[in-house]
Structure 1
């Protein structure tokens, strides 16, 4: 498997290898990603990425498409269970294929380079920058909320602050991985504290006998498959990020043990927190209040915390800050691995010789995120992201079953019962198909973006066009000099 060098073509071919990529000891002087993440760091990354914008944005979407409090709570529980089922499937994939890149690596090993490139293509255009943009915009909206208490903050101010915080966190990620993990650890604790404040206030409210919102919990439920699918999309958006630790497997110490342990600790914890947080929301706020609020947690705090309500926007801002930090760290490795495999310009696979971080990949992702900050309708973005993510997650889990048939004797430190991936496939299939009826435009646009990657693949990888190859070489050389970077110097088994 050839390395990508400054003189390679735009996207040189590189065959996906089933074997794990091994890291060497730090003493040999190689320039490569370092294994610096322990079990607690892994838990903090998963919890830190998941608990971000979603729990403060999606309650409105879930109740809107569910129609009732009772059905909304069922969606929250089932979304957590489904995410846990998916995470267990990814634990098998991640320990069988201990490569960074998550879905990209698994789809590549199972189905070959074209499907893997299509995942990378939609991740490049939709999944990663959209998720980061939503989180950055939510951070800005909540932080600016106290300055415009009776109306929405100006969109220009929100976008500017979101762009600034995206750039700041990109700088931190470029400088030092340990700084990233410290920020993640600190702000994970902050966001859990914020949710505990909400839960505590909700419990106190219920103890006062205020249970009227739960008297007819299923009144107004929307039972059509399309609405159920869209409700699940909003719920699953809040849990998105459970597979982000798989993006950085090569930087995880003892991934065979720590990857599944981190997943099994994080997912039940997040599910429990989410469900009791939503019970608190529904206990204090009516359905109409939630639907009319763009900042559910702030509306909750204004009613329950009195003069101390100002702390909630601060807590939420800290939560989304930590979530965006973890997402930038993990998702930048996806583009890094894609470039290392020859599916993106080689410049994105360069590593800084001093910081040992993929600076070009981080900057590239920062630029994409800032561009998407100019899209205002967050809920449309959630539908785009959820459909495409559900589709490719379905393909990844299909790859798990295919690899069991294709490579029955492969080393699998973890092997889940076959019923688990089958349940996940059936559920994801229902969501993907049902969403077509109620969200046809978003599904159509997402499908068109996926298919648009096919001609790009053949023009840039299968038979690269000459001037694109020359341009890529020039960009690669410029980035290597400007950012003091060299190609990843790792060895392959």
Structure 2
């Protein structure tokens, strides 16, 4: 009986499904095009007669194979940009930019300097365009967004700290000159002078740029904008608004290149002083650049892309940065009392490092208490993972760890043709292509 009833139930279900399948579909377009069909539509539509005819015209205009191929690749990129790219594509593009910058700085100090000079000039151009446009609009009476400027203000400790995170992200780089004091002429004079002149200059530009933004955008419109400078260009510089995203990209690449140049030196010195693996202090025999340190920094920068969007990245970076800034300046305060006899070519009043230390504590602790987020946990775990490598391979130098690090160091030295810094002059005197004995 049970088998008969089960059989009857299944037959009833089949009959119901048969009836449902015969019901007419609604008179609307159906979602029946899958991923494969979509790809086939794009590929099939694009590939027509053009690829069989256009190569002649492209080559006739470029007159060489190399530029011809570059044009074809650039056209593909341009065609892709007509759709909003998924996050993974954006991250891959960022990783590619980091790879390019790392390669440039590993190959040549002079090439890295040229790149920095070009992109710095480009960013100054766009800054000047935005400021001058804003001042013109302000002189024309566009001041309505500055009326009742403090109306509706709602401040909290967490909101202030996160606002500082994003603001200080824009100012990050104020300490980068400290990393290349060995390559700075008369550092005891030029280092403080560069800071005193450079940071107020940037501060003035930033304030004027924000004023320019508010001449054409209300606070609500600015909050809704995905890229404030691009929105400003669309409203003020049309039809030349395309220059804004181009120069913003130049500015970003220039900042990344400068950071790679300076932070790579920080890693290099850390390796030389025994705080990191010695291979990070090696110098390229042919290029005379700290290639291992720069490549290591490029890898770390690429890892920073993984967490999420730009806001998560800002919070992630700022938390780690100000934690270490605070610890560094706290060390300065402690040494003021424990190392009183040390020579201090550059000395500041004690209240300045104490104040900055307290501000660093606020910036690190306040966001965690007011608005806890996973980015801070990821950041702590990332830093603790560094301690594991430090104690295993640098501090205690366990036997099994040395069995791993020594062959790795040897292969890296042969692959990148790098030597310890004290051997670089000797190796430069050898014939081209000669390398040192791996250590």
TM-score by length of 1: 0.66
Which ranges of structure 1 fall in alignment gaps of 5 or more residues? 1-143
Q: 1:483 aligns with which of 413, 416, 423?
A: 416
Matched, 1:153 2:88: no
Once the two structures are TM-superposed, the CA of residue 156 in structure 1 deviates from its matched residue by 4.2
Indicate how the Cα distance of structure 1 residues 151 and 213 shifts in structure 2: closer, same or farther if over 3 A, else same.
farther
Q: Which has the larger radius of gyration?
A: 2
Indicate how the Cα distance of structure 1 residues 446 and 370 shifts in structure 2: closer, same or farther if over 3 A, else same.
closer
Spell out, residue by residue over 1:40-77, the C-alpha distance to the aligned partner (whole angstroms, 9 max, x if none): xxxxxxxxxxxxxxxxxxxxxxxxxxxxxxxxxxxxxx
Indicate how the Cα distance of structure 1 residues 300 and 420 shifts in structure 2: closer, same or farther if over 3 A, else same.
same
Residues 392-431 of structure 1 aligned to structure 2 (within 5 Å): 392-431=324-363
Once the two structures are TM-superposed, the CA of residue 431 in structure 1 deviates from its matched residue by 2.0
Once the two structures are TM-superposed, the CA of residue 383 in structure 1 deviates from its matched residue by 0.8
Give the 3-state SS of the residue equivalent to 1:489 in structure 2: helix
Q: How many residues align?
A: 348
Q: Quick one: distance in 2 between partners of 1:245 and 1:393? A: 15
Q: 2:253 aligns with which of 321, 324, 334?
A: 321
Residues 93-104 of structure 1 aligned to structure 2 (within 5 Å): none
Q: Quick one: distance in 1 between partners of 2:226 and 2:240? A: 20
Residues 139-288 of structure 1 aligned to structure 2 (within 5 Å): 152-288=84-220
TM-score by length of 2: 0.74
Q: Is the 8 A contact 2:276 2:390 kept in 1?
A: no
Once the two structures are TM-superposed, the CA of residue 186 in structure 1 deviates from its matched residue by 2.2
Matched, 1:354 2:286: yes
Spell out, residue by residue over 1:243-300, the C-alpha distance to the aligned partner (whole angstroms, 9 max, x if none): 1111122222222222112111211111111111111112211122222222111011
Q: 1:344 aligns with which of 254, 276, 282?
A: 276
Q: Quick one: distance in 2 between partners of 1:305 and 1:347? A: 50
Q: Quick one: distance in 2 between partners of 1:381 and 1:222? A: 25
| Counterpart for residue 458 of structure 1 | 391
Indicate how the Cα distance of structure 1 residues 393 and 403 shifts in structure 2: closer, same or farther if over 3 A, else same.
same
Give the 3-state SS of the residue equivalent to 2:276 in structure 1: coil
| Counterpart for residue 439 of structure 1 | 371
Indicate how the Cα distance of structure 1 residues 196 and 146 shifts in structure 2: closer, same or farther if over 3 A, else same.
farther
Residues 289-308 of structure 1 aligned to structure 2 (within 5 Å): 289-308=221-240
| Counterpart for residue 366 of structure 1 | 298
Higher relative contact order (CA 8 A, sep 6+): 1
Which ranges of structure 2 fall in alignment gaps of 5 or more residues? 1-75, 425-439
Q: Quick one: distance in 1 between partners of 2:363 and 2:162? A: 8
Indicate how the Cα distance of structure 1 residues 322 and 292 shifts in structure 2: closer, same or farther if over 3 A, else same.
same
Q: Quick one: distance in 2 between partners of 1:279 and 1:260? A: 29
Q: Is the 8 A contact 2:284 2:419 kept in 1?
A: yes
**What is the RMSD of the two structures over their aligned residues, measured on CA atoms?**
2.4
